[in-house]
């Protein structure tokens, strides 16, 4: 995706709260996608349209590398993120920035391992990747659940913050509450969403990644066998109504309106906290 207004604000937020970026690597060479007004404010004249001068001039980067599978856009390191990265670049960077690359990498697990390997202990990892509404843009769309589970303290990370941002609303983000008590945080939105992730690597990284509600259930029900799963009492009615497209749509809309995690505006979701974001 490159640097648009949401990812520009993500960089601002991180430097204001965590300090300068230091030695940086970006996944893919990140182009700048800003309008003329923001470009005049943030981009030096004579820029080639890529992010390096922006990161060094405005966000305290002292060196910027980029890693890509091709040198087509002038990446400084050519390597396939589907494979383990070379030893020579491991734990070399203070900040690892993914502003719309991971969704294009087939082996997403290996890619996330590489991201952690690139980052120094004490360093920061940033993601701004598709959540909802980008089907076909890349291989994947991502849930906050993935990043909460991956970037947990038990896996060697701390200070993990996750926000959702509507593509069409540059004034607000929505802070996502960490999942707890075995309750899923389902977000079904009518608009395109980014998931914005900030985390800090603190220790040896492990890969103990399980979905939180399953972990909760397994721990709570340890040594017990789940009883036979009974059909819901309204399953028969739903089956009849689903046979017709119009009644099925009506049922889905009523369910979305009544269910805590149904399709609704983000500001109405019980697990999201709306925060105002300054204009770039």
Task: Tell me, yes or no, whether 162 lies in a domain.
Answer: yes
Q: Give the range of the structural domain holding residue 57, as residue numbers without chain letter.
A: 5-213
Sheet (strand 61-68) strand order: 77-78, 61-68, 22-27, 93-98, 119-130, 193-201, 157-166, 172-176, 272-276
In a domain, 109, yes or no: yes
Asked whether residue 105 is domain-assigned, the answer is yes
Cα 55 from chain centre: 20
Task: Indicate the length of the chain as a whole number.
Answer: 280
A 10 A CB-CB count for 270 gives: 11
- Answer yes or no: are the C-beta atoms of 68 and 28 closer than 8 Å: yes
Sequence-distant (6+) residues with CB within 8 A of 148 are 160, 162, 176, 178, 179, 212
- Record the tokens describing residue 68, joined without a space: 């890509």
Q: Is residue 27 part of a domain?
A: yes
Render each residue's pLDDT in the chain as its tens digit; 280 residues.
689 999 999 999 999 999 999 999 999 999 999 888 888 888 876 678 899 999 999 999 999 999 999 999 999 999 999 999 999 999 999 999 999 999 999 999 999 999 999 999 999 999 999 999 999 999 999 999 999 999 999 999 999 999 999 999 999 999 999 988 888 888 888 889 999 999 999 999 998 999 998 888 888 877 777 677 666 656 767 777 777 888 877 877 777 666 666 666 788 888 899 999 987 6
For residue 262, is it within any domain?
A: no
Q: Is residue 167 part of a domain?
A: yes
Q: How many domains would you assign to the chain?
A: 1
The answer as to whether 279 is a domain residue is: no
Residue 55 lies in a domain: yes
């Amino acid at each position: 995706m490159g640097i648009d207004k949401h990812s520009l604000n993500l960089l601002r937020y991180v430097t204001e709260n965590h300090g300068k970026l230091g030695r940086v690597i970006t996944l893919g060479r990140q182009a700048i996608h800003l309008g003329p007004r923001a470009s005049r404010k943030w981009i030096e004249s004579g820029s080639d349209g890529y992010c390096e001068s922006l990161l060094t001039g405005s966000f305290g980067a002292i060196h910027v590398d980029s890693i890509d599978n091709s040198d087509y856009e002038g990446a400084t390191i050519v390597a396939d993120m589907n494979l383990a990265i070379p030893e020579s670049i491991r734990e070399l960077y203070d900040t690892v920035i993914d502003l719309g690359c991971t969704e294009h990498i087939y082996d997403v697990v290996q890619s996330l391992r590489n991201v952690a390997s690139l980052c120094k202990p004490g360093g920061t990892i940033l993601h701004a990747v598709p959540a909802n509404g980008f089907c076909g843009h890349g291989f994947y769309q991502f849930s906050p659940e993935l990043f909460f589970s991956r970037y947990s303290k038990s896996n060697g990370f701390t200070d993990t913050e996750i926000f959702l941002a509507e593509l069409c609303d540059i004034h607000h983000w929505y802070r996502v509450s960490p999942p707890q008590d075995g309750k899923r945080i389902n977000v079904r939105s009518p608009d395109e969403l980014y998931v914005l992730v900030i985390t800090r690597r603190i220790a040896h990284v492990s890969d103990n990644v399980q979905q939180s509600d399953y972990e909760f259930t397994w721990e709570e029900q340890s040594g017990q066998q789940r009883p036979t799963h009974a059909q819901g009492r309204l399953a028969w009615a739903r089956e009849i109504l689903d046979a017709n497209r119009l009644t099925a749509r009506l049922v889905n809309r009523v369910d979305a309106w009544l269910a805590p995690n149904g399709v609704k505006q983000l500001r109405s979701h019980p697990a999201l906290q709306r925060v105002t974001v300054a204009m770039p």
